[in-house]
Amino acid sequence: LTTRKPRTRATLRDVAQDAGVSFSAVSKALRAIPGVSAAMRARVQESAQRLGYRPHAAARGMRGQTFTLGVLISDLRNPFFSEIFAGLDAALASTPYQPFFGIGGADPATENAIVDSMIDRQMDGVILIGPTIQPPDLQQIAKEIPTAVIGVHLPKVGSLDTINNDDELGGRLVVQHLHALGRQRITYLTLDPMPQKDGVTVYRERGYREEMQRLGLDKHIRILGVTSDSEQIRHVALSLLRSSRPPDAIFCWTDYVAFEVIGAARELGLSVPGDVAVVGYDNTPFCRLPQNALTSVDQSGRLLGQQAGRLLLDRIAGRTTSQHFVVTPTLVARASTEVLAPSTDGSEASRRARSRTARAAASVR
């Protein structure tokens, strides 16, 4: 049980008086800056401790850093975010930086306003997760504040860092997996309207499209758009499944869309994967549940978050060249695409697809 010590909002001057030294000495001592004796440091720290001194962030902000990072989340619905957070948290542990999260409405205007408010507050850097803000504006932001972007592919842009999984490969993996199981009429459900032309769904679509062509399934290529509204997704799924020539597999741009599709299939009395196979993306926790048993692409959100944190700190520390980090995704097969033998230990009836055990490896372009 921790107990809060009643904090008195002591200032540097208070500590200085208590320790009997000048306040500028305190400033140096507390930041462990060279040019201060060990004895003084000890005395000062003792006083600071006892008085419950904490630096005044606004005052700091006037002179330099605030040790505050802003993280923009566009789509709160997507539980994938919590994995990214875990990685970010790990990257920031044992640093003085504190992340604060702004939640956007998945439209550029709102998101721009939130980023502005982060800049106004003199945050030291921002991480944008799946923003709908367009590349020109992203570059503009990067001019004003160190910026890392997750979920937009901008390998050519030099002013900011990007962190992504290889979405094109992800799309390919899904088609390969389904094709190996004998599926042909594979439909892709993408996000529409698209947040950006360099966004992840576009790359997934490209991987899907090219792999379909490579496997000679050109004529089965079919792409439908869904929003993030669950009723709308359900309606699209229902009409797709009820159409005269329904697909035998549906690849969904993210897991929660796939859950809706499974729901729609069930509503129509169709069997998954008997009548239709379903694949998601992100491998979020609910994929594991037997009622979903959703085959999904794991893009190691934890690693994405961690790298975003690291790259941002690097950049704040002075790096000016840009880095573009790409993680290799893995397909996790579950019963929504093939019926698997129950595993012996009684745990989850799923396993990593053998043929693609490539661990989430990283490459820096």
Partner DNA sequence: TTGTAGGCGTTATCAT
Partner DNA sequence: ATGATAACGCCTACAA
Strand order in the sheet with 249-252: 222-226, 186-191, 249-252, 277-281, 295-298, 330-333, 351-352
The distance in angstroms from the start CA to the end CA of the chain is 47
What does 225 bind: DNA, its own copies, none (CB cut-off 5 to 8 Å by kind)? none
Q: Is 184 in the site for DNA (CB under 7 A)?
A: no
Cβ proximity to its own copies: between 46 and 267 the closer is: 267
Q: Does 23 bind its own copies (CB under 8 A)?
A: no
If binding is defined by CB under 7 A, does position 219 make contact with DNA?
no
The DSSP string of 70-129 is EEEES-TT-THHHHHHHHHHHHHTTSS-EEEEEE--SSHHHHHHHHHHHHHTT-SEEEEE
Q: Could you say which residues in the range 114-173 bind its own copies, by CB under 8 A?
A: 114, 116-117, 119-122, 134, 136-137, 140-141, 143-144
Residue 66, interface with DNA (CB under 7 A)?
no
- Alpha-carbon torsion 339, 343, 346, 351, what sign? negative
Q: Which does 196 bind (CB under 5 to 8 A by kind): its own copies, DNA, none?
A: none
Binds DNA by CB under 7 A, chosen from 17, 45, 55, 194: 55
- Shortest distance (Å) from residue 12 CB to DNA: 3
Residue numbers 64-103 binding its own copies by CB under 8 A: 66, 68, 70, 76-77, 79, 81-82, 85, 89, 98-103
CB 3 → its own copies: shortest distance, Å? 7
Q: Report yes or no: 280 and 62 within 8 Å, Cβ to Cβ.
A: no
Given a contact cutoff of 8 angstroms between Cβ atoms, the answer to whether 67 and 60 are in contact is: yes
Residue whose CB is less far from its own copies, 60 or 356:
60
State the Cα angle at 345 between 339 and 347, rounded to 5°.
Answer: 60
Pairing of strands 362-364, 222-226: unpaired
Query: Which of 42, 155, 290, 361: binder of its own copies (CB under 8 A)?
Result: 290
333: enclosing H helix or E strand: strand 330-333
Could you say which residues in the range 3-42 bind DNA, by CB under 7 A? 9, 11-13, 21-25, 27-28, 30-31, 34-37, 39-40
For residue 324, give the H/E element and its range: strand 324-327
**CB 35 to DNA: min, Å:** 4
The DSSP output letter for 152 is: B
Which residues, 6+ apart, have CB-to-CB distance to 134 below 8 Å?
108, 196
Task: Output the smallest distance, CB 304 to its own copies, in A.
Answer: 16
Examine residue 242 and tell whether it contacts its own copies (CB under 8 A): no
Q: Which of 18, 53, 85, 172 binds DNA (CB under 7 A)?
A: 53
Size of interface with DNA, in residues (CB under 7 A): 28
Nearby residues of 111 by Cβ (< 8 Å), 6 or more positions away: 72, 74, 104, 105, 128, 131, 132, 133
45 binds DNA (CB under 7 A): no
Residues within the interface to its own copies (CB under 8 A): 1-4, 6-7, 54-62, 66, 68, 70, 76-77, 79, 81-82, 85, 89, 98-103, 108-109, 112, 114, 116-117, 119-122, 134, 136-137, 140-141, 143-144, 230, 259-260, 262-264, 266-267, 285-286, 288-292, 349
